Amino acid sequence: MTAAGMRRRRPLRKKLTAGLAAVAVAAVLVGVPTAAPAETRGYVISMVHTATWGNTDTCPRGDNGGLSDLKVRRLVGRGFSESEARAILASGGVDADGNRVPIRELPRLNGRAVDPGNVPVLVADPQVRTAEGRFAHGFDLNGVVEPDAFEDPVSGELGVDNQMWRALGCFEVYQVRRPVRPYNEDIAWDTALDAMPAWLMSVTGDDLDADGDVTVTFDRSLNVAMRDARVGVLSGATYVVDPDPRSHSVFAGRIEDGVLTVEPGDFSMQGESQFYAILRFTGTRLRLEMADHGGASGIIGGYQPWRDYFHYLAIRGEENAQVDLPGVYYAMKRLADAVPDPETGENTAISAAYFLEAVPAFHATLAGEVVARAVGPGPALSGPAVHENVTLDPE
């Protein structure tokens, strides 16, 4: 063979050598397990409301009653007897002589009458009764089990900090337990579902059916929530993720025995003015039960700017919120327990807890890429349908 012929065969020999080496490496790797790609499951929030736990020991000093009780107190404060006040309310707001009686005298600012919900400091603190008792939903946010701290009725966690429950818990509208929801929030959420961009959650991990570390992400959608035939929130629908960072929150989390928790962090979600204009926490905690049907439910909480929730109540007004607005304002201000103002020293945030429910959903980007998948059929009843069909057999 000529030297030229040998030179022409060398490239072929190199290719054969490289190919055999690759086959040898592949043979060595046969049977070696490879890491499974991370999985991301998507959810849409089907219900959120203040986590309530009305109990016999919640208001041992008496409660604040409901809207009619508030009106009676206002009339008594104007000089009527209790019987006269109740007679006025029963007759549609007129006295025995047929004269219309204002329930309250509005405070004045710059010579003009104003709603006390807008400027509550114009009204004296009515010293509403606040909640006590053993139980309240929530978390030990400060790491200290104080003598008057609550115990979570579901998880059994001690040292629960939930000062917002103290401020609200003795109003009749909040003295309920799931599946019954506070009336003012129930109506607001049911209305918001059909107009407000949906709230989304996703969970990413190597094996979401086993214990392990995960990443939990919250976003707002560009779509409103889709209803099912029972007026709940439809499982398996697709939502486009809003890229706006104002409603994007990411947490390191963990699933243990089917319960999802997160490391403390900041949470923020844009809402709508007729519902929560914004829901945000510092030191956020999460505890969700991951159900076999693919849904999740539990508690989210942390330190919330207390004026955020008061703003929600003030927008609703006393007739719909069914609380004494100045009373709640002063109670929240007095009970706030975090984030002191650097100038005044007054706390600007209050420990709080909310019930959260989510059903399976697909998440996609504006470009059409699916970034989270719905897994499971979801619950038979979700969102508003849970209360409205409370006696319905889910099977």
Q: Which of 127, 142, 168 is the last residue of a domain?
A: 127
Tell me, yes or no, whether 230 and 288 share the same domain.
yes
Residue type, 272: E
Residue type, 53: W
In the numeric block, which tokens belong to residue 145? 């089990």
Q: How far is CA 9 from the centre of its chain?
A: 72
Burial of 313 (0-12, 13-18, 19+ CB in 10 A): buried
Q: Which of 111, 127, 143 is the last residue of a domain?
A: 127
| 284 is a domain residue | yes
Q: How far apart are CA 220 and CA 196, in angstroms?
A: 10
Question: pLDDT at residue 22 above 60?
Answer: no
Closest to 314 in 3D by CA, of 150, 188, 170, 178: 188
Tens of pLDDT, residues 84-129: 889 988 988 888 888 898 887 777 888 888 888 889 999 999 999 9
Helices (H), the chain: 3-29, 67-77, 82-90, 163-168, 183-192, 306-321, 325-335, 384-388
Tell me what pLDDT residue 35 has.
56
Domain of 115 in residue numbering reads as 65-127
- Give the CA count within 13 Å in the CB-facing half-sphere of 13: 6
Are residues 170 and 129 in contact, defined by beta-carbon separation less than 8 angstroms?
A: yes
| 325 is a domain residue | yes
Query: Is the model more confident about 340 or about 34?
Result: 340
Tell me, yes or no, whether 117 and 138 share the same domain.
no
Q: 12 falls in which pLDDT band (50, 70, 90)?
A: very low
Q: Is 303 helix (H, G, I), strand (E, B) or coil?
A: strand
Q: 388 falls in which pLDDT band (50, 70, 90)?
A: low
Domain count, the chain: 2
Are residues 350 and 336 in contact, defined by beta-carbon separation less than 8 angstroms?
A: yes
Tell me, yes or no, whether 202 and 276 share the same domain.
yes
The predicted model scores a pTM of 0.87
**Residue that is written with structure tokens 């040998």 in the block:** 6
Poorest-confidence range of 81-85, 300-304, 337-341, 351-355?
Answer: 81-85
Tell me, yes or no, whether 58 and 115 share the same domain.
no
Tens of pLDDT, residues 155-203: 999 999 999 999 999 999 999 999 899 999 999 999 999 999 999 999 9
Q: How far is CA 288 from the centre of its chain?
A: 11
Tell me, yes or no, whether 105 and 158 share the same domain.
no
Q: Is 338 helix (H, G, I), strand (E, B) or coil?
A: strand
∠ CA(311), CA(314), CA(318), 5° rounding?
155
Preceding amide of 179 cis, omega within 30 = yes
- Give the CA count within 13 Å in the CB-facing half-sphere of 125: 9
Q: Is 164 helix (H, G, I), strand (E, B) or coil?
A: helix
Closest to 282 in 3D by CA, of 314, 258, 253, 249: 249
Percent of the chain whose predicted confidence (pLDDT) is above 90: 73
In the numeric block, which tokens belong to residue 236? 């398996």
Tell me, yes or no, whether 220 and 210 share the same domain.
yes
In the numeric block, which tokens belong to residue 373? 């998948």
